[in-house]
């Protein structure tokens, strides 16, 4: 009886600060736990098949808070084809400039260095991501609840269901802005709650450039006929300086005793590079060219809207 009561209290306290049935913790708490809190990473499992680079686990904090996550280790040097932690983090950070938290289309995402010793328990061949460290750098993402990848684009429904049209419109504006180039069905999820049909992009590692997946890349374009007016207007108000400030450095670390310790981002060390290292400082961010590409796509969108070729509602 006491255990049951404790579980009820625990679930109530979690849901009290939950965003909804898909994100069942407070966003700020999730961000802190993914990137900075001292945590135990338990029950690591391959997501799709044995040896899969993408894995799931449970983060547990000393106070009892826990959450399920997805994580994927970076290649040596911090990035590679279809495995760019900086793209995953930048995608999460970009949406904050034009979407409110309850309409985020990317779950909380961060980077984190985990110990080589821990990672070696299930991967004999893993090596430190950076020289003079004993860590494996990973992109870590909150694991959504109550979602499915069993969905189809129903354009007829979009004309009569304004909430569904809004959710899908926001998702497509996001995928267009980041030039999302991997339309694998598992990369997009939809809430099972018909009253709040949120849409999510959960894999954004192939974006911001010209590389494309052989599984499709249509979501890098504007595929709908109309988009939410207020979202478009928030995008209209963005300057290139806003993008630089938000995206040039999305994560920064200090190497100390072989560990990667998170720091508040400082000035970009080298705008031409996405992964930068100077002394004991490591930075992740978008390059000057990648940020310019976002701004150019934004201007193209506004021309289509102002020219009447793309509708808003």
* 19 close to 11: Cβ distance less than 8 angstroms: no
DSSP3 helix / strand / coil % (the chain, rounded to 5): 35, 25, 45
* 274 close to 250: Cβ distance less than 8 angstroms: no
Taking the C-alpha atoms of residue 98 and residue 254, their distance in angstroms, rounded to an integer, is: 30
For residue 154, what pLDDT band results from cuts at 50, 70 and 90?
low
Other residues' Cβ atoms within 10 Å of the Cβ of residue 306: 10
Mean pLDDT, rounded, for 31-58: 95
The residue ranking higher by pLDDT, 22 or 48, is 22
Closest CA to 98 of 173, 23, 168: 173
Alpha-carbon distances, residue 303 vs 52, 168, 169, 228, 235 (angstroms)? 42, 21, 17, 16, 13
Q: CB-side exposure of 23: number of CA atoms within 13 Å?
A: 25
Taking the C-alpha atoms of residue 31 and residue 209, their distance in angstroms, rounded to an integer, is: 26
pLDDT number for residue 7? 41
Share of the chain above pLDDT 70, in %: 92
pLDDT number for residue 88? 98
For residue 217, what pLDDT band results from cuts at 50, 70 and 90?
confident
Mean pLDDT, rounded, for 193-197: 91
Taking the C-alpha atoms of residue 81 and residue 48, their distance in angstroms, rounded to an integer, is: 19
pLDDT number for residue 184? 81
* 169 close to 94: Cβ distance less than 8 angstroms: no
pLDDT higher than 80, residue 305 = yes
Mean pLDDT rounded to a whole number for the chain: 92
For residue 13, what pLDDT band results from cuts at 50, 70 and 90?
very low
pLDDT number for residue 4? 47
Largest CA distance in the chain: 65
pLDDT number for residue 291? 99
Question: In terms of residues, how long is the chain?
Answer: 313
Q: Are strands 135-142 and 147-148 parallel, antiparallel or unpaired?
A: unpaired
Give CA 94 to chain center in angstroms.
9
pLDDT number for residue 151? 75
For residue 153, what pLDDT band results from cuts at 50, 70 and 90?
low
pLDDT number for residue 246? 99
Quick: pLDDT tens for 250-293: 999 999 999 999 999 999 999 999 999 999 999 999 999 999 99
| Sign of CA pseudo-dihedral 158, 164, 168, 173 | positive
pLDDT number for residue 193? 94
Measured in degrees and rounded to the nearest 5, phi and psi for residue 261 equal -100, 125
Sheet containing strand 281-284, edge to edge, reads 259-263, 251-256, 281-284, 275-278
pLDDT higher than 70, residue 130 = yes
Start-end of H helices in the chain: 2-16, 27-35, 85-95, 116-119, 155-160, 162-178, 229-236, 240-247, 288-306
């Amino acid at each position: 009886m006491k255990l049951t009561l404790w579980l009820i209290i625990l679930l109530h306290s979690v849901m009290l600060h939950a965003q909804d049935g898909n994100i069942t913790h407070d966003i700020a708490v999730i961000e802190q736990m993914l990137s900075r809190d001292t945590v135990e990473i338990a029950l690591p499992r391959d997501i799709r098949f044995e040896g899969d680079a993408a894995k799931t686990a449970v983060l547990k904090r000393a106070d009892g808070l826990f959450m399920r996550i997805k994580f994927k280790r970076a290649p040596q040097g911090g990035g590679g084809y279809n495995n760019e932690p900086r793209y995953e983090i930048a995608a999460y950070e970009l949406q904050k400039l034009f979407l409110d938290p309850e309409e985020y289309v990317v779950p909380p995402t961060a980077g984190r260095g985990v110990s080589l010793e821990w990672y070696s328990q299930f991967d004999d061949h893993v090596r430190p991501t950076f020289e003079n460290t004993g860590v494996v750098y990973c992109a870590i993402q909150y694991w959504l609840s109550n979602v499915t990848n069993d969905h189809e684009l129903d354009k007829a429904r979009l004309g009569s269901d304004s909430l569904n049209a809004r959710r899908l419109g926001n998702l497509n504006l996001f995928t267009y802005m980041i030039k999302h180039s991997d339309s694998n069905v598992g990369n997009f999820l939809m809430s099972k709650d018909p009253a709040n049909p949120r849409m999510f992009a959960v894999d954004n590692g192939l974006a911001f450039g010209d590389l494309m997946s052989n599984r499709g890349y249509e979501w890098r374009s504007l595929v709908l006929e109309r988009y939410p007016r207020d979202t478009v207007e928030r995008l209209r108000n963005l300057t290139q300086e806003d993008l630089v400030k938000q995206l040039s450095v999305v994560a920064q670390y200090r190497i100390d005793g072989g560990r990667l310790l998170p720091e508040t981002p400082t000035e970009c060390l080298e705008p031409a590079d996405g992964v930068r290292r100077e002394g004991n400082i490591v930075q992740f961010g978008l390059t000057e060219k990648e940020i310019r590409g976002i701004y150019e796509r934004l201007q193209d969108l506004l021309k289509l809207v102002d020219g009447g070729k793309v509708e808003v509602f």
